[in-house]
A and B are shown apart, each in its own frame.
Chain A
Amino acid sequence: MAEIQLIGRAASPGLAFGPVAVLTAAVAGRMASEDPEQEAAALRAAIGRARAQLAEQIKTIQSEAADILEFQAAMLEDDALTDTAYELIAIGIAADHAWRRALDLEIAGYRAAEDEYFRARAVDIVDIRDRVLAHLGGVDVVAGIAGGSIVAAEDITPSTFLATDWSQGGAIALASGSPSSHVAMLARARGAPMVVGLGPLSWHGQPPVLALVDGDAGRVIFDPEPETIRLFELRMAAAKAELAVAEATSLAPAFVANGRRIAVLLNVAGPEDLANLDSAICDGIGLVRTEFLFEAAHGLPDEETQYRVYRDILVWAQDKPVTIRTLDAGGDKQVPGLTVEGESNPFLGLRGIRLSLARPEVFRMQLRALCRAAVHGTLKVMLPMVAVPSELDRANEILDAEFTALQAKGVACARPPLGIMVEVPAAALCAADFGAAFYSIGSNDLTQYTMAAARDIGAVADLNDTSNPAVLALIAATVEAGLKRGVEVSLCGDAAANTHLTAALLATGLTTLSVSPIAVARLKAAIAKVSS
């Protein structure tokens, strides 16, 4: 078999070589019986297995995905979905063909819908169709991706990503997708190479066995020739050696050539990201994303659970500053029971601080947990999606009230300073008007709101460019406001880890960058090369 080389867009750096796991249902050839009764029984059994598998997944999977799966389960339980297939079987059509025809009819109905919400459900029915087809063919497609696999798919959901073990290597090769998607962010944090926008992955019935993924160049080679593999393995070895050298120096503080000290902070989702890490590699933690805490738990985490997580991070940091961001739900991060479903444009809707102020009981609980944790180290708290000073003022009032109430009860606590995430252009332009204790630039959202180009739409991903002069000007304006007010300004978005941007970011006057632990060594090496 000749190797197939596809060029896409780099979404997460690194090189990987491994067996291919095709995510879409690749149904093996099935021997149909001539007997309609046997075919009907085969379909019934396949639907039963698909339902059992769904029920199992709903129990273990992340919250937002569980809702989607519950919808699929409800549809599969309904005879109205299966009747047509059984009718086709009764007139002599094989079970797999009958099921496909019946479901394709249903899918066509959704695709023809005027309402985009209903059109978007077609993919759920496709998922149901393929689940059952997989069971009919005796192939267990959706059940877990083996660690170390190169996952090839049209696209991949955050929950599928999170359900996969990335500790043994592996990579992602997508037909569509975007480097700015939530999964791409997760992949960069876990060090899983990822390439998106490869175009249609058609195997002509023969899915590839092996693949090489070059997450630096945005290239994927399916079923590589032995010589291609040999050269790629040489590159992997060289990259590994280079990383080892960078890591050996990563414990040292970062300086630019002119002697300016640059603080390098960490972005983490929870204490588990810090396991086996020496706190000497960083100058503190610049971003703790607490929404992962809310997604992982079924239902909202209580105050005690939150307190323990925050405390553990502060203890790890050993008095180095730790910036914890209050819940940034909404947008592409839905939390059932909290976020608003079906907003016409969730990125311009009730998300971040807007949601926290609209649902203060959840916000208050988080602030209480933070005040209690604050006694264990140097805690700073930042608010996401702030657009106007009154949002910060209201948050300060709520924080004061919760802190005072805890104190009155004799609970050990401290009042952390409140800073703002600068990700709305309005906040960047008028940064000096905010009484913030610090500014932290969220370059992902600041870029998408400035360029009016979504992070997760491949077709406009080129516009979603943090190095655009307009975005850099807003970053520089924020840095200037910080200098004027004498408060710290840091940048914690993906741009901080993009070493092509390091010189441009430092040129804005920034002296603090926050990146995922995996990017620290590379960033420090890039900072050392900047000569300005």
Chain B
Amino acid sequence: MHDAHASRAGETSVPLTASAVLVNKVGLHARPSVKLTQCAKRFAAKIELALSGDGPWTDAKSPVKVMRVKAPQGATLHFRVAGPDGEVALAAMLALVHDGFGEA
């Protein structure tokens, strides 16, 4: 992991982070996990999630790994995104969580 100064040359590789609270009723459960990973796979950026801002970080494109996180309702989901379409990707992930995965 390089620090912020070291990566100034390539702005796009600086990881973007943000968090959102899981509002849907069952947390990051089967259908939400599938929706989240399907959304993440649409982007080239590396997208990771965690239950804490310090990690451990999980590949948001893997439904198996996302399910292993077992994020319950009310948990804060942290995202870390790096890549050329990182900003759009992060916005899409946050929107999905805010929207309760379209299940509310």
Contacts and interface: CB of A to CB of B under 8 A. Distances in A.
Most-contacted residue by chain B among A75, A115, A118, A340 (CB, 10 A):
A118
Contacts of A113: 70
A115 B25 contact: no
**Majority-rule SS of A interface residues:** helix
Given A74-B63, A78-B64, A341 B26 contact: yes
Nearest to A82: B64
Interface in A50-105: 67-68, 70-71, 74-75, 77-81
Interface in B69-96: 70, 72
Contacts of B38: 74
Interface in B2-53: 24-27, 29-31, 33-34, 37-38
A124 interface: yes
Given A71-B30, A115-B27, A342 B64 contact: no
Given A67-B31, A74-B34, A341 B103 contact: yes
Contacts of B103: 340-342
B25 A121 contact: no
Contacts of A74: 33-34, 37-38, 63
A78 B25 contact: no
Nearest to B103: A341
Nearest to A112: B70
A115 B30 CA distance: 13
B72 A115 contact: yes
A115 B62 contact: no
Contacts, number: 62
B68 A109 contact: yes
Contacts of B68: 109
B76 to A, nearest CB: 16
Interface in A293-346: 340-344
B69 to A, nearest CB: 10
B62 A117 contact: no
B67 A121 contact: yes
Contacts of B37: 74, 78
Contacts of A343: 25
A106 interface: yes
A124 B30 contact: yes
Contacts of A75: 63-64, 67
A112 to B, nearest CB: 10
A344 B26 CA distance: 8
Contact of B64 (A70, A81, A118, A341): A81
Contacts of A71: 30-31, 33-34, 63
A77 B41 CA distance: 13
Interface string A341-382: 111100000000000000000000000000000000000000
Contacts of B65: 78, 80
A344 B72 CA distance: 13
B30 A121 contact: yes
Contacts of B59: 80
A498 B1 CA distance: 70
Nearest to A336: B31
Contacts of A340: 25, 103
Nearest to B30: A71
Contacts of B31: 67, 71, 341
Given A71-B34, A115-B70, A115-B72, A121 B29 contact: yes
B14 to A, nearest CB: 27
Given A74-B37, A121-B30, A344 B25 contact: yes
A237 to B, nearest CB: 48
Contacts of B67: 75, 118, 121
A335 to B, nearest CB: 13
B25 A118 contact: no
B15 to A, nearest CB: 21
Given A77-B63, A341-B26, 9 more contacts: A74-B37, A78-B37, A78-B62, A114-B70, A117-B29, A340-B103, A342-B24, A342-B25, A342-B26
25 contacts: A68-B30, A71-B30, A71-B34, A74-B34, A75-B63, A77-B63, A78-B62, A78-B65, A80-B59, A80-B62, A81-B64, A106-B64, A109-B68, A113-B70, A114-B72, A117-B26, A118-B70, A121-B29, A124-B30, A340-B25, A341-B24, A341-B26, A342-B24, A342-B25, A344-B25
Those 8 A-B pairs whose CB atoms lie nearest each other, nearest first:
A342-B26, A342-B25, A80-B64, A71-B30, A78-B64, A81-B64, A80-B62, A74-B63
Interface of B: 24-27, 29-31, 33-34, 37-38, 59, 62-65, 67-68, 70, 72, 103
